[in-house]
Amino acid sequence: MALPIFKSPFIRNIRRRPLSVIVPISVILVIYYLFFSAPSVSTKTTPKYNYNKISKGWFAKNRDSVILQNLPKNHISHYDLNKLTNSPDALAQQEEVLLLTPMSKFVPEYWNNINALTYDHSLITLGFILPRNTDGEVALKALESSIKDLQSKNKLNYKKIVILRQDSNSLESQKEQDRHALSVQKERRGMMALARNSLVFTALSPDHSWVLWLDADIVETPPTLIQDLTIHNKPVLSANVYQKFINKETNQEEIRPYDFNNWVESDEGLAIAANMADDEIIVEGYSQIATYRPLMAHFYDPNGDVSTEMPLDGVGGGAVLVKADVHRDGAMFPSFPFYHLIETEGFAKMAKRLGYEVFGLPNYLVYHYNE
Amino acid sequence: MALPIFKSPFIRNIRRRPLSVIVPISVILVIYYLFFSAPSVSTKTTPKYNYNKISKGWFAKNRDSVILQNLPKNHISHYDLNKLTNSPDALAQQEEVLLLTPMSKFVPEYWNNINALTYDHSLITLGFILPRNTDGEVALKALESSIKDLQSKNKLNYKKIVILRQDSNSLESQKEQDRHALSVQKERRGMMALARNSLVFTALSPDHSWVLWLDADIVETPPTLIQDLTIHNKPVLSANVYQKFINKETNQEEIRPYDFNNWVESDEGLAIAANMADDEIIVEGYSQIATYRPLMAHFYDPNGDVSTEMPLDGVGGGAVLVKADVHRDGAMFPSFPFYHLIETEGFAKMAKRLGYEVFGLPNYLVYHYNE
């Protein structure tokens, strides 16, 4: 009641005619109670529902609109998935993007990089899944603190942020050398696959046109990353993940290939798979398994066109744009050997089995954190 | 303003001191505008967000509660998937159920049957997906009309109803004889698999503990269906689908097995699969493919215990209860041959590859519509 407007006539009026104030305020409180009381799993009340027919216009020609009615007190939601578009001009078409990151470590450069993305943040939903271990606790605190920090500066404009804790046991250690040991790859990547599946199938909503998988250790991308990838309008499209480092001899910053999971299948790879036991997997990038697969990491041409595309058979998860319908059709990250592939590489195979094409951009670089 | 309470002193007061009414009403309108304006894909506004830390209590011992904060103006949602329970006493634990039905025909008996389910409807979300063809149009109208009818009687108490239109081309004809021709099974069931995937991965939310797949032509189940299935606390559990019919000789109502997709793998089945080309599929229940698989349909014992369980390797989709985490881990309905299986049978195989067990209840009958 500190507003000047309430000062004298209003207060005096309350004293003389309390009903004239109590009634409207009660209405506010009732509305607030009806609509804003937090949904509680243990509530026994069975609310009434409004039914509004909103299906008219389904066959109108505005193909880029989603019919969506998902408000409190209107519990009947119609979604016409055909009205969702994927277009090369995603931003102009106001297409919504779900940006997904499994996070076991909070890297400030990752956070700063996504906040610098120039795609309209109000069209972006962020989704994170963090492991249930000490690393996850630390990362969660840092992530929450960074969100609050951005919010305090009035710069938090994402449509929504979803934070999940992993529902399965997580591997305790995720140190660089441990993570890359071939022997732990199968278990580690199986866990990662389950985390990715929980994340996408929990966070995916009917209004998302695109899913951008961006690993928590991708610290530098062009700020136009989403526009640059959507313009290709491919079902699955992977950027080329490199790493910056200081060459100790020259003391100069140089770049080197980092992610070897973007590859084209080879005769050798197929032959190895054909002779494997059912539950064995091929993991690319290890000398123990010589697949001779052409790796996108090696196709980078610093003088080449950044928009050059190459068809791929396997992808890494570093920076991959996926049409949401590919996931809706059921493309998931196998935690089990799927054509002797798991996780992101198995996902690429599954997308292909669902009839989608997979591509990569060898000259479009994003950079991995240098631990 | 028809409320008696507003009648005399209030109206008179407006005339004398309009501000005392206009200010509170403006507050209501501003609140309403801020919180209830429909989310529009084409909006350019970037709303501000409130950030409330709600993670405290995550490690409290109430394992059956979901921390959930998903209100308008609070766009940061924390979900702790570990807090979701699956228990044999699902109703007492207030566990939420997502009841999913792909629907190409609206069968009133199906609708009446689910409305008679005794599981607390406020814990049930209904999800439907309808094909984009003439059948789908007709079914949609009938479904909407039935929902409105129930609502007008104040009997619509479901937590939420989600209606999707299929985003892919649907098969035009779904007549009984067409549907069952072996030659169209692969295509038909591939389409059905995509519909099921779109439905579950769009409708599944973080507060669902269970997913109940119930086909649109299941017209009779015990009203305690959900309690009866959840009490077994299995990752995947299929009821036995029978059909009632009039025996023309005796003129008596009898029952006969209907769904042959609930089966146990056989040596013959494995041998057939081993000799198949990569993209061939086995569809159970056709004399052309003699798998000699033990079919749950034939294990029904009218004098047996209804709670008898049997392990299965394939399931039909008629009435199957699935723990939501099985889907979250990525279990989907393959539209492509997966171990030479597709759709619900491929789903059972995928659940097993993800490490889950699959069971059936041979003596627990539900009934299929008799066309």
DSSP string, B260-299: ---B---HHHHHHHHTS-TT----TT-TTS---PPBGGGG
Nearest Cα of chain B lies from the Cα of A292 at a distance, in angstroms, of: 24
Option in B42, B156, B202 nearest A204 (CB): B202
| Structure tokens that stand for B165 in this block | 């239109």
Share of chain B above pLDDT 70, in %: 73
Q: Is residue A276 part of a domain?
A: yes
Interface of A with B in 348-367 (CB under 8 A): 353-354
- Tokens 């790859």 -> residue: A185
Nearest to A14 by CA among A6, A26, A4, A2: A6
Residue B14 pLDDT class (50, 70, 90 cuts): very low
Q: Is residue A19 part of a domain?
A: yes
CATH of the domain at A186: 3.90.550.10
| pLDDT value at residue B281 | 83
Q: Does residue A16 share a domain with residue A163?
A: no
* Residues A133, B29: Cα–Cα separation, whole Å: 46
CB B74 within 8 A of CB B87: no
| Structure tokens that stand for B328 in this block | 């979250």
Q: Does residue A109 share a domain with residue A20?
A: no
Provide mean pLDDT across the span B263-274: 87
Q: Comparing B27 with B241, which gets the higher pLDDT?
A: B241
Q: Does residue A333 share a domain with residue A261?
A: yes
Q: Does residue A250 share a domain with residue A141?
A: yes
Query: Would the CA dihedral through A133, A134, A135, A140 be positive or negative?
Result: positive
Q: Does residue B214 share a domain with residue B73?
A: no
pLDDT digits (tens, 9 = 90+) for B147-200: 999 988 988 899 999 898 876 554 444 455 555 666 677 788 889 999 999 999
Q: Does residue B160 share a domain with residue B75?
A: no
Gap between the terminal Cα atoms of chain A: 55
Q: Does residue A355 share a domain with residue A235?
A: yes
Residues of B in contact with A157 (CB under 8 A): 46-47, 49
| Structure tokens that stand for B225 in this block | 């269906």
Q: Does residue A152 share a domain with residue A15?
A: no
Identify the residue among A35, A48, A49 best suited for mutation to test binding to B, counting B beta carbons within 10 A and taking the highest.
A49
Q: Is residue A55 part of a domain?
A: no
The set of residues, in sequence order, having a beta carbon less than 8 Å from that of A213 and lying 6+ positions away, is A100, A101, A196, A317, A318, A319, A320, A321, A322, A344
- Tokens 């103006």 -> residue: B73
Q: Residue B357 is which amino acid? A: E
Q: Residue A263 is which amino acid? A: W
| pLDDT value at residue A324 | 95
> Based on C-alpha coordinates, what's the Rg of chain B?
25
| pLDDT value at residue A70 | 32
For the stretch B21-26, contacts whose Cβ atoms lie closer than 8 Å and that sit 24 or more positions apart, written own/partner, are B21/A20, B21/A24, B23/A5, B23/A6, B23/A10, B24/A21, B24/A24, B24/A25, B24/A27, B24/A28, B25/A24
Q: Is residue A166 part of a domain?
A: yes
* Residues B192, B197: Cα–Cα separation, whole Å: 9
CB A369 within 8 A of CB A109: yes
A218 is in which domain, residue-wise? 87-368
Q: Residue B4 is which amino acid? A: P
Q: Is residue B333 part of a domain?
A: yes
Q: Is residue A172 part of a domain?
A: yes
Q: Does residue B23 share a domain with residue B133?
A: no
Residues of A in contact with B336 (CB under 8 A): 353-354
- Work out whether strand B236-247 and strand B358-368 pair parallel, antiparallel, or are unpaired: parallel
Gap between the terminal Cα atoms of chain B: 54
Q: Is residue A41 part of a domain?
A: no
Residue B97 pLDDT class (50, 70, 90 cuts): very high
Residues of B in contact with A136 (CB under 8 A): none
The stretches of chain A forming alpha helices (DSSP H) are 8-16, 19-36, 108-115, 134-152, 176-180, 182-203, 225-230, 267-274, 324-328, 343-353
Q: Does residue B50 share a domain with residue B120?
A: no
Residues of A in contact with B322 (CB under 8 A): none
Interface of A with B in 162-191 (CB under 8 A): 162-168
| pLDDT value at residue A334 | 95
**What letter does residue A298 receive in the DSSP assignment?**
G
> Which CA distances in Å does B364 have to A324, B228, B283, B358?
38, 9, 24, 16
Angle at A222 between CA A218 and CA A225, to 5 degrees: 85
Q: Is residue B3 part of a domain?
A: no
| pLDDT value at residue B185 | 76
Option in A144, A156, A329 nearest B198 (CB): A329
Residue B292 pLDDT class (50, 70, 90 cuts): confident
Q: Does residue B306 share a domain with residue B187?
A: yes
Domain count, chain B: 2
pLDDT digits (tens, 9 = 90+) for A44-84: 222 222 222 222 222 222 222 222 233 234 456 667 666 67
pLDDT digits (tens, 9 = 90+) for B194-247: 999 999 998 898 889 999 999 999 999 999 999 999 999 999 999 999 999 999
Residues of A in contact with B200 (CB under 8 A): 201
| pLDDT value at residue B17 | 54
pLDDT digits (tens, 9 = 90+) for A266-302: 888 888 888 888 778 887 777 677 888 999 999 999 9
Q: What is the pLDDT along chain A (371 residues), one digit of tens a residue?
A: 344 444 455 445 545 554 544 444 444 443 333 333 333 222 222 222 222 222 222 222 222 222 223 323 445 666 766 667 788 888 888 999 999 999 999 999 999 999 999 999 999 999 999 988 889 999 999 999 999 999 889 888 999 998 988 765 544 444 555 656 666 777 888 899 999 999 999 889 888 999 999 999 999 999 999 999 999 999 999 999 999 999 999 999 999 999 999 999 888 888 888 888 877 888 777 767 788 899 999 999 999 999 999 999 999 999 999 999 999 999 999 999 899 899 999 999 999 999 999 999 999 999 999 97
Bridge partners, B249 (sequence order)? none
The stretches of A279-341 forming alpha helices (DSSP H) are 324-328
Nearest to B324 by CA among B170, B146, B203: B203
Q: Does residue B150 share a domain with residue B33?
A: no
Q: Comparing B136 with A361, which gets the higher pLDDT?
A: A361
